[in-house]
Structure 1
Amino acid sequence: MFITFSEEKLRTFTYDVFKKMGCSNEHATLATDVLVRSDLRGIDSHGVARLSGYYRLWEKNRINATPNIRIIHETPTTATVDGDAGLGLVVAPFAMKVAIEKAEKYGSGWVSVKNSNHFGIAGYHALMAVEKDMIGISMTNASPLVAPTYANERLLGTNPMCYAFPAGKYPAVVVDMATAAAANGKLEIAQRANAEIPDGWVQDKDGNGSTNPNELKAGGSLLPLGSDKDHGSHKGYGLGATVDILSAVLSGANYGPWVPPFVAFLEPDPNPVGEGIGHFLGAMRVDGFRPAQDFKNHLDNWIGRFKNAKTVDENKQVIIPGEPEYQFELTRKTSGIPLINAVVEDLNNLAKKIDVEPLLIP
């Protein structure tokens, strides 16, 4: 069911695909790093499994492989970036670098982005700030697949948000999550594995709960974080709305039901309210509040106390946000990255189509 590949093999393959799209060496390398880092961190739904999707969008002229990414509005601590329809995998790191540069000068930096595309995992961009002893924040709106509380209409995306905090002896604390009950990529994994999904992730076209991972294709919708009105879905709805407003209403990107779909077989709304997909990124210098080492020492203490919390099951331990992904990265760096057969087949078909060396040679 799984085939394991080395990190180097996946990097080479992914880079070759982005080069076939016409990306520069710099952009192909960066986009590759975002996708492979996702697989390394165990977030398989946003790794190389998405590569064919990016290529299909490029074929439909919805991704610009050679964008002129630029700042179009700016103050000392804020900026708005126009991604020129480029890969979000490239646009978002550009914007985070701007946020970090502003933070280095003024203590914090905040950047909104319009006219972009899917940016991969939010954690990648937030962790860029952690490397500079800063707190990183990243979020993006996404294709409308989520029905707000009480609704039976797709109006929001899975709209992930991430907060990343630098620690000392421990790995960074990384709170990286969709504001929906589940990311669409998890449904795609279940579809490929021909498996059911947990109750509370989706509703069918009539608003009834379902465990069918194909429900979205039949007109259903994802549910907000919290699943339904009896389990706090209004909180997930509120978080998703916050991401949409900061990422798009603030930047001039499309928001709500006007966000362009990630899949190439669906066309964007012919009457958009903005440009492309939107992101919001921020960086805050820890030493703008207290000495960085003091903060990291106390965060280590925080982590240690939570890891030693009394649990309901003596065989379980409280999980620190970002810890599982960190452990995945350590393991997969040495043992390789597993891809399910359906993903390997999809990528090999893409390789044959565009004449690059496949992952597996029959």
Structure 2
Amino acid sequence: MENPVKINTSDAHGVAVAFLVRRGMSEEHSRMVADHLIYAMLAGHAYAGLPRLIPMAERLRKTGTGGTIRTVKETDNSALIDGANVNGYVTSVIAMKKAMALAKASGVGIVGVNNSWFSGLLRYYVEPAANEGFIAIHAANSTARVAPHGGADSLLGTNPIAFAFPGERSPLVIDFATSQLMWGDVIYHGQLGKPLPSDCAVDPQGRRTTDPAAALAGAILGWGGARGYSVSLVVQALGILAGSDPIIGEAGKWGYLFITINPELLMPVDEFKQRIGVLRSSIESSRPIEGGGPVRVPGSATDARLAEGRARGWIEIEEEIYRRLTVE
């Protein structure tokens, strides 16, 4: 990182809140967004942290801060929420809390959110549910920026999906996108003036490119070949169930689906946690391949970065991005 600015997390949180409030977002919503952005920075995902405020400001300028979030349909174990064009960092927290309340009452909570945008790191929403003893699943489709497998046209979102399972020591959290790069990561490379990794994007003519601007005008490529593409379609369909447009344009409706399950439906939660702990320790104590490092479960590196970052109490951000956040 060139010319980094070191700033403690409390001050960084204040920078984010002030930036959003200046652009019309309520202080309550600004604080919710800032909480998420600081979490992302501590987790080592800088592209999903404070730099995300810059494209967020552009979206706020174009479409405003949104209206009143409301539940449009509800049963004993489900709810559908109209996000009222409010940022997804806010609506997703509300939706997961609702899903947890439904699961606490009925054993299962299924919540869909639409008419919302930008929701950041999905593990941010499922991890608290697992901390409360629930299994959590979250899928989110988004603006069409990713080409289908073998194609060159932007038809799919980056379409991440996340799972969290309560465990003895800590939750097992698995969170991954179905694209080679997240849209925010492409923007972040552009902000830093750095090329993209190879074989991750195509330009408007369908030619491979490492130029962030050309990739934004063209398409990001999918992850995982035909299998990753299949998972992306699953996420797209789950988003449609939550109320999204089939193909989401710049002003289209994103769809977020949240599912929470109380393990007590099938076994005592403490027994489930113990079994997840055995699974985790078995993997982590298993033999690596010749010349390889320790075998890890997904999400463990992020867990370690979060613990280290919280103990450290500060983050680093590029000087030019910090200037834009505090001067503009």
Structure-1-length-normalised TM-score: 0.84
2:308 to 300, 317, 331: 331
d(CA) in 2 for partners of 1:259, 1:113: 17
d(CA) in 1 for partners of 2:194, 2:15: 28
Alignment of 1:306-345 (within 5 A): 306-314=283-291, 316-335=293-312, 336-345=314-323
For residue 237 of structure 1, what is the aligned residue in structure 2? 229
d(CA) in 2 for partners of 1:24, 1:221: 34
d(CA) in 1 for partners of 2:297, 2:24: 40
2:228 counterpart of 1:251: no
Displacement, 1:75? Answer: 1.8
Distance 1:192 1:59, change over 3 A: closer
d(CA) in 2 for partners of 1:212, 1:70: 41
Amino acid at match of 1:223: L
2:56 counterpart of 1:54: yes
Displacement, 1:140? Answer: 1.3
Amino acid at match of 2:316: P
Amino acid at match of 2:218: G
CA RMSD in angstroms, aligned pairs only: 1.9
For residue 7 of structure 1, what is the aligned residue in structure 2? 9
Alignment of 1:134-283 (within 5 A): 134-169=134-169, 171-217=170-216, 219-226=217-224, 233-247=225-239, 249-256=240-247, 258-260=248-250, 268=251, 276-283=253-260
Distance 1:225 1:315, change over 3 A: closer
d(CA) in 2 for partners of 1:338, 1:255: 39
SS in structure 2 of the partner of residue 60 of structure 1: helix
Displacement, 1:126? Answer: 0.9
Residues 65-99 of structure 1 deviation map (CA, whole Å, 9 limit, x = unaligned): xx311110122111110011111111111111111
d(CA) in 1 for partners of 2:285, 2:261: 29
d(CA) in 2 for partners of 1:196, 1:8: 32
Range that drifts further, 178-187 or 20-29:
20-29
SS in structure 1 of the partner of residue 110 of structure 2: strand
d(CA) in 2 for partners of 1:282, 1:320: 22
d(CA) in 2 for partners of 1:70, 1:131: 27
Range that drifts further, 326-335 or 111-120:
326-335
Alignment of 1:108-123 (within 5 A): 108-123=108-123
SS in structure 1 of the partner of residue 38 of structure 2: helix
Residues 180-217 of structure 1 deviation map (CA, whole Å, 9 limit, x = unaligned): 12212222333334333333311233434333333314
d(CA) in 2 for partners of 1:184, 1:20: 25
Unpaired runs of 5+ residues, structure 1, are 227-232, 261-267, 354-362
Count of matched residue positions in the alignment of Structure 1 and Structure 2: 325
For residue 75 of structure 1, what is the aligned residue in structure 2? 75
Structure-2-length-normalised TM-score: 0.92
Residues 104-133 of structure 1 deviation map (CA, whole Å, 9 limit, x = unaligned): 011110111111111111111111211210
Residues 33 and 89, structure 2, Cα contact 8 Å, conserved in 1: yes
d(CA) in 2 for partners of 1:14, 1:292: 38
Distance 1:315 1:153, change over 3 A: closer
d(CA) in 1 for partners of 2:200, 2:110: 32
Residues 172 and 322, structure 1, Cα contact 8 Å, conserved in 2: no
Residues 93 and 125, structure 2, Cα contact 8 Å, conserved in 1: yes
